[in-house]
Structure 1
Amino acid sequence: MARARYALRSAERFKDRATHAMKLFPAWMNRDLGLLLTGRALRSLVQGYLAILVPIYVAKLGFDALHVGYLFTASAVASAALAAAVGFLSDRFGRRNLLIVISLMSVAAGVMFAKATSFAMLAVGAALGTVGRTGPAGAGGSVGPYFPAEQALIAEHSSDAARTTVFGALAFVGVVAGAVGALMAASPHAISALFAIPLLDAYRALFWTAAAAGVAMALVTFPISEHPRETVPCEPARAAHRSEPAPADNRAGRKVLGLSRRSWWFVLRFGAINGTNGFAVGMLGPFVVYWFYRRFGASASEIAGLFFVINLAAGLPNLMVGRISRQAGTLNTIVVARAVSSAFLLATVLMPTYLMAAFMYAVRSVVGALWVPARQSYLMAMVDRSERATAAGLTNLPLQVTSLVSPPVAGFLMQEVAPGLPIALAAILQGLTAAMYYGFFRGLNPPEEQATAGGPSGEGEKRRAE
């Protein structure tokens, strides 16, 4: 009898501890999302320091700035091609499987950089690892060939009501891990002094670390569960003010490149927006840093400090985006965040001092951080669930392509016309994308907003998303 009472008390204590532990995590968290968030953290951590170390490492190996440009061009072209391929293939051969392949490619890239004896090895490594594709400040590292498969898996393991919140959490994890990675870029000198090894070997140690992180990413991804594509039906969105392809058109026999007519309707419009945005992104990139340096004489440490603060500050809106989108609507969140961030970017160019310009640019980046997870969630909600990875890859491709075209244009304008002109044009183009979102998708609501509009059931879904 005493043993039975002891066992009962032990079971009750265990239950209380388990209940307390569960309260530490949000209601939407599950094992698969935890693994996906861990994979993003590892990936963003590594990309955070590689984006800084690779150009310096290449220079220390004796290559000039032209070779650095070739290296990052190879990375960008490979990233664009792989993103489209991963999107198309992962809906057919498994999204988890493609994430594992991408992780193993990063292992090969880390090994090739660590053992590089020629520029050809560096170029192949940069292409395999898509080095430097970290996305804009505050975006949480949401760029790269893994992105279509990861985005589709996040949506698959999230409820409709929690989807935007989960994408915000994903961006937050990426932002924080990327900021830590950027700090790790300062470690080669400490490693060299601590272990009395040449500085170049200290750089190589971090490339070996990147390879080990790739193995860890593959191991973390392997246990993720994945539903068969055909068992997850599409939930059609409500079109309040305009027509869209009817759900009846979603027949497998009418698919083109793996997408139904209805999904193509959204993909083509998202592609047009992303192509416009990509041209603007290419005009920003490293040119913002160069503009701060040329316009105000800002030092490297001042600019590095600014971007570190921006990345950390962007974590707050990433955590708030789910609540904001439930109150204002996902599409409204995208449009307003895009328009306001574009206005602050344009104001940055007009500021007379470094501190004022840095403040305007920081506000722009923090406000703009809202639209990234909201946009990802909106696309995943509007296309057929079995086609999510393909849609993500195809909509991302125009951004990758146009962001390759615009840097030479930006360089010419900055050098020959006016230093701030490329940034001003980028602000105008990104403001245009806000108008495009509103014009294309006004009145098209994701399922969770339809449920919310329906009354009590929507309120229950809203509470579960907290």
Structure 2
Amino acid sequence: MINNHEATGSGAASKLFWNFKIKRPRLMKKSNRDIKLLFLTRIIRLFAYGFMSVILVLLLAETGLKDGKIGLILTLTLAGDVFVSLWVTTVADRIGRRKMLVLGAVLMALSGLVFVVTNNPWLLTIAAILGIISPSGNEIGPFLSIEQAALSHIIPDHKRTSAFGWYNFAGSFATAIGALTSGWLAKLLLLYSFTALESYRYIMLGYAISGVMLIVIFLKLSAEVESQPVTVEIEKPTIKPKMGLHQSKGIVAKLSALFALDAFAGGFVIQSIMAYWFHTKFGVDTGVLGSIFFGANILAGISALLATNIAARIGLINTMVFTHIPSNILLCLVPLMPNLGLAIALLLLRYSISQMDVPTRQSYTMAVVAPDERTAASGITNIARSIGAAASPALSGLLLANPLFFSAPFFLAGGLKIIYDLFLYKMFLNVRPPEENRLKKEVFDCINADEPC
């Protein structure tokens, strides 16, 4: 159990990062160290994603590619992530989680280097498909699924949502710093007579270096992060596992379909596309773009933290839906603003509540499946999100190329996300995670007790 005095959901971020105390047999010093390393890799990785995402579309445009082809490359990038993640997450528990994390970091470093050294659209496309490039500035590749499973194995149920909230806050904060650094670094390099293309390539070099740093840290993880054998007495006939799932196949299939719809909607307005939209519509330079997405990601991280307290009061599903719908309404309103200031203000307001569904979604998925299904469930649902997100950037690129539909990606994203919220609420309102069932029982027992609670 986590020490309540040293790592509470309302404590300081540093206490969660550096003072997590695990009191389980066989999991002590190594587990505490592994948690710190996993938070560190999350920070480095999301910094790199934010660092690169602001200039990715601008870099591709500087190589001479048109909007439609850029959208296609972004789609192929996300499609490649599907295949890489599918293979890595389905063999991670058998081959080794550490080995698969290192492999992902190697692919990340190599893909960044390719973007540094060539303008060839075919080579860039291959690097985007086989490597790990994040057009959205958000998590991509197999890292998240493996890390979620490792953390869920160590952290007790009642602390899981809080831990995921801090985990996402760390990532959002790192993405924000990466976006800010990237935008102003590109502008600084332009002032020193570097061409736009050269400036963007230096940033991609930083992305590749981040991949090398991840390789080093993943190699330092202990064997405790590996999948542990689970011994369970089953009275009824054993269900034959498929893709790592047995009793939770139905619920994972439903969640995967819904998450794919949500990701498909989000793919219309990934961070790279929004940066290009602001640059084209309002003439915003890279420095201001970096500042916009710095603020956006900071607010997103704070919203992820606030979600943990809200979820403790109203439940995970209610938190996911009741915060996500207003966020998507605000997204639809952004392109209707008459000037840059109002558009930025509305975008920031949207981000202030946009990520409340992320730690709750991750925690909910881990909660409603068996412990030995968590890696597979996380991998399958995240792959479903990648599949959903893969097609929409290409469609978004086509819309951006037509002045009449230039702002349509915002309306499509917001509208489809609201449809996702309504289906999620209808299908899963009564499917509660174990900690909510225990809390409900405790409240019921307290109300019906003869003595005061």
Residue 87 (1) aligns with residue 89 (2): yes
Would you say the 8 A contact 2:333–2:346 is kept in 1?
Answer: yes
Q: Give distance in 2, aligned partners of 1:203 and 1:349.
A: 27
Change (3 A) 1:248 1:117: farther
Give, as a single letter, the amino acid of the residue that structure 2 aligns with 1:423: F
Q: Corresponding residue for 2:388?
A: 402
Q: Give distance in 2, aligned partners of 1:279 and 1:367.
A: 20
After alignment, is 157-166 or 56-65 more displaced? 56-65
Q: Give distance in 2, aligned partners of 1:417 and 1:134.
A: 24
After alignment, is 307-316 or 408-417 more displaced? 408-417
Would you say the 8 A contact 1:232–1:386 is kept in 2?
Answer: no
Q: Corresponding residue for 1:168?
A: 165
Please provide the CA RMSD for this pair.
3.6
Q: Give distance in 1, aligned partners of 2:321 and 2:172.
A: 22
Q: 1:258 aligned to 218, 227, 244, which one? A: 244
Q: Corresponding residue for 1:359?
A: 345
Identity %: 26
Q: Give distance in 2, aligned partners of 1:333 and 1:417.
A: 36
Q: Offset at 1:24?
A: 5.4
Would you say the 8 A contact 1:337–1:371 is kept in 2?
Answer: yes
Residue 373 (1) aligns with residue 354 (2): no
TM-score by length of 1: 0.77
Q: Give distance in 2, aligned partners of 1:148 and 1:124.
A: 24
Q: Offset at 1:114?
A: 3.6
Q: Give distance in 2, aligned partners of 1:28 and 1:308.
A: 28
Would you say the 8 A contact 2:323–2:354 is kept in 1?
Answer: yes
Q: 1:275 aligned to 231, 235, 260, which one? A: 260
Q: 1:445 aligned to 424, 432, 435, which one? A: 432
Q: Offset at 1:176?
A: 1.5
Change (3 A) 1:38 1:257: same
Listed as ranges, the gaps of 5+ residues in structure 2 are 1-5, 22-31, 447-453
Q: Corresponding residue for 1:322?
A: 308
Q: Give distance in 2, aligned partners of 1:60 and 1:420.
A: 22
Spell out the pairing of 1:139-218 with structure 2 (5 A cutoff): 141-185=138-182, 186-187=184-185, 190=188, 204-218=201-215
Q: Corresponding residue for 1:116?
A: 118
- How far does the alpha carbon of each residue in 1:166-214 deviate from its partner, in whole angstroms, 9 at most, with x for none? 11111111112112222332325646888x9888666555444433322
Residue 305 (1) aligns with residue 291 (2): yes
Give, as a single letter, the amino acid of the residue that structure 1 aligns with 2:176: A
Q: 1:429 aligned to 405, 413, 416, which one? A: 416
Q: Corresponding residue for 1:230?
A: 229
- How far does the alpha carbon of each residue in 1:280-316 deviate from its partner, in whole angstroms, 9 at most, with x for none? 1133235555665677x46346554332211112222
Matched residue SS, 1:265: helix
Change (3 A) 1:444 1:198: closer
Would you say the 8 A contact 1:167–1:373 is kept in 2?
Answer: yes
Q: Corresponding residue for 1:25?
A: 15
Would you say the 8 A contact 2:364–2:433 is kept in 1?
Answer: yes
Q: Give distance in 2, aligned partners of 1:172 and 1:271.
A: 24
Q: Give distance in 2, aligned partners of 1:442 and 1:319.
A: 22
Q: Give distance in 1, aligned partners of 2:251 and 2:294.
A: 35
Q: Offset at 1:103?
A: 0.9
Mark the structure with the bigger radius of gyration.
1
Q: Give distance in 1, aligned partners of 2:236 and 2:84.
A: 29
Q: Offset at 1:79?
A: 0.8
Would you say the 8 A contact 2:105–2:212 is kept in 1?
Answer: yes
Q: Give distance in 2, aligned partners of 1:126 and 1:311.
A: 24
Would you say the 8 A contact 1:338–1:433 is kept in 2?
Answer: no
- How far does the alpha carbon of each residue in 1:348-372 deviate from its partner, in whole angstroms, 9 at most, with x for none? 4555554444333322222121101
Q: Offset at 1:107?
A: 2.4
Residue 220 (1) aligns with residue 205 (2): no
Q: Give distance in 2, aligned partners of 1:70 and 1:249.
A: 49
Q: Corresponding residue for 1:334?
A: 320
Q: Give distance in 2, aligned partners of 1:410 and 1:115.
A: 27
Spell out the pairing of 1:8-157 with structure 2 (5 A cutoff): 25-26=15-16, 28=20, 30-58=32-60, 60=62, 68-116=70-118, 118-135=120-137, 141-157=138-154
After alignment, is 312-321 or 348-357 more displaced? 348-357
Give, as a single letter, the amino acid of the residue that structure 1 aligns with 2:165: G
Change (3 A) 1:440 1:292: same
Q: Give distance in 1, aligned partners of 2:405 and 2:61.
A: 29
After alignment, is 274-283 or 285-294 more displaced? 285-294
Q: Offset at 1:63?
A: 5.6
Q: Offset at 1:333?
A: 1.0
Q: Offset at 1:341?
A: 1.4
Q: Offset at 1:40?
A: 0.9
* Equivalent pairs, count: 418
Q: Offset at 1:420?
A: 4.5
Would you say the 8 A contact 2:112–2:208 is kept in 1?
Answer: yes
Change (3 A) 1:142 1:233: farther
Would you say the 8 A contact 2:50–2:178 is kept in 1?
Answer: yes
Would you say the 8 A contact 1:79–1:130 is kept in 2?
Answer: yes
Change (3 A) 1:172 1:453: same
